Amino acid sequence: MTTEPAGTLTRADLADALHREIGLSRADSGSIVEHILAEMCGALSRGENVKISGFGTFVLRDKGERVGRNPKTGVEVPIAPRRVLTFRASQMMRDRIVAAG
């Protein structure tokens, strides 16, 4: 089974889809996409998770300090605690991805 390199979905692509599917002007479509992304970023920066039904959930996790190892030299290096953003696809999304593959 060969897979072709995946393209990238951009903000402009999302705005263009709104323009085509709903008939909004390009400016309004772009503005809506920007507002949605700004709301998502704002919620995440406040420490809130973002759940989009049928798509997935963006979750913030706090990772504690740990010891890592430089794979080239084997030297142990402390890794500072940090907050990471993860995405967990909904079951509906996973089913669609499997069906498309």
Write out pLDDT tens, residues 84-96.
999 999 999 999 9
**pLDDT above 80 (res 6):** no
- Say which residues have a Cβ less than 8 Å from residue 49's Cβ, sequence separation at least 6: 43, 57, 58, 59, 60
Predicted pLDDT of residue 2: 46
Band (pLDDT 50/70/90 cuts) for residue 4 is low
Q: Three-state SS across 72-85?
A: CCCCEEEECCEEEE
Helix (H, G, I), strand (E, B) or coil at 48: coil
First-to-last alpha carbon distance for the chain, in angstroms, is 10
**pLDDT above 70 (res 3):** no
**pLDDT above 90 (res 7):** no
pLDDT tens readout for residues 8-65: 999 999 999 999 999 999 999 999 999 999 999 999 999 999 999 999 999 999 999 9
